[in-house]
A and B are shown apart, each in its own frame.
Chain A
């Protein structure tokens, strides 16, 4: 038990160190790129001299480097009053915090769909190996994997909102309603974005899982399980799939983190879901550097956090890496 606690504490400390390094790197990219005046870059398009002076003063740009870094981090993490100069002085951090649950809803729902569908497809393909169904499933997965999200999203919108909106899909009202407000509306508004986002991952995960299952199937301990007289079903679920989930899970943690960190940008833009990805896209089109910087740090934070969670989950699912 003590070993587990030490492991978690050590892992958390490490996460803090990584976060610190990321903020430093991001800070240097945005403030210290040679030949760029950071005030001009941060102040938005065609700033007036007054705005420039205000930015310099607010961010302490004429003070020593480490104070500049300190002011920036204070504005992001403590006072949370970093403003976007191109967006009429909007406060950035609250904006991100408002967008986060929307992105989380999108990614969570999509991940449930893709995990379930990928396991079903991967297991079916591995089980049906040698029949025509295996290559058919894998070609389907490959198609899913290579379908661009922006195109698929447009097609889904075209079908549900235009072509068949008056008949089958009249219940579909795209757009985000908080789960706490109305679970039904939340679901109706997000189901098609979920599907759209998950298609790529279903394809990817099904292929990875199938390959892994076939590899594990040749392991000696699977032969042992069969020699014990267990049913094929039990051998597959309790022995083959169980160990294959180790790879599956680590992949999942990383993708989930990256998506919550803003990686679902295309889906959010196509469906007009105002999550973190949408915010990123908006600030990119407006050259709104303070927002971009904050979003990058926020995204990195989620990826690092997901990594840490994967490590803990790893220990839970694989006794060999458990701390002793």
Chain B
């Protein structure tokens, strides 16, 4: 059949189908006039080859492990090794969290992920007035190197990779990790893992900032430079869309604002004199995965392609590794319901499947009880088993990027890339991400999406099973994991003991040295490492930096 004949036949069949549709809709009207994704992209009734006509397979889709990496960053993806199963965990004291890590590792988890409590994330010791009621609540409390030693006791740091969700004080926690490894006899170059170290999104989506943007960017580029020479296998940043999505953004906005932050970090590093092809391979990303399954799969593919293109076109990256968007994914905390919490297991399964079909490098699956409390051991085991079932039983990991070529998925991939790029250009026009934050633009965009979603839920246009439909009377949930107030007392006592037992002169000297370095602008990392080794506390170190750099205040 000639191409023309084929085309005619296509149109003829499409016409026949349209007639069927008209009849069908007359008898059974469709559930809605239009169907859209969270980003407002249209789910057409049917996607056909006509929707992907403008796609050039080689240029736009290509092959896994090759530019523009739409199909994945590795040539064989999960056929060689599954994604890293990495459950974010941390609560109470370092002793309790150490026990949870060992439980997770015994159950087949393949990487650690540390959740720190809020005082640690904001640079306050557990005995600070502002730490009242917050110690050990949303993560583990770390005041000094002594706590880090307990946290990783009996865990060989050359055998695991560790992700630390730490931003403003990332340099200090990384230094503590290096010091613990040294005590274990593990050299820094053997260490594998990630610090989140993404301060920009803290200003508009997560809130654990300490310093103003300029010194924050300086600390981040210091870390890039230090790791390049000392921790070559360490991912120096995890540029995070997760919290942007949790704050209420759409999928397109998540991609756009995350990559915009990424561009700002690359730009700052290049301006500080680093070579893009030296540091960019250690950049990593962190995304959310939500319920709208096909949009989510397309989102990951679009993000990979767009980042590769931006790195090549804007920064002249040459090496493939500098253009690869490698990412961790966490299922959507904000999609969990306190009502009928077992339903969350199913939500998490759908989300996790989308992350795997989107080509994630590592994955955290939320526990069913996280809308109520910290996850219990039973719940976290089910969450981990969910990943193991997808990996070993579903077959989806056995062929690379299996949804490629779907007219719908390729079309959505294209649309998400285009719309995210439009946002990035808008941010460029505003003068970059920092200016866009200062102008309140990003906050406004996210806030509008969050409010529109809430409205949709309240009108019933968006159905949440067990919340606004299919509700039941429920007894209050039982067996919740709660952090007792004694944790705060114990942690303060431990800090007092450590402070009493250390060489005070060495602490003071190391802090003076740090102040000098902060003032003269040289790399902060060596002075921070020296300070943590004297058991100077996180709060003491941050206080020195606060005095030199000032503090950020929300406008």
Q: Real complex partners, A and B?
A: no
Which residues of chain A have a CB within 8 Å of any CB of chain B? none
Which residues of chain B have a CB within 8 Å of any CB of chain A? none
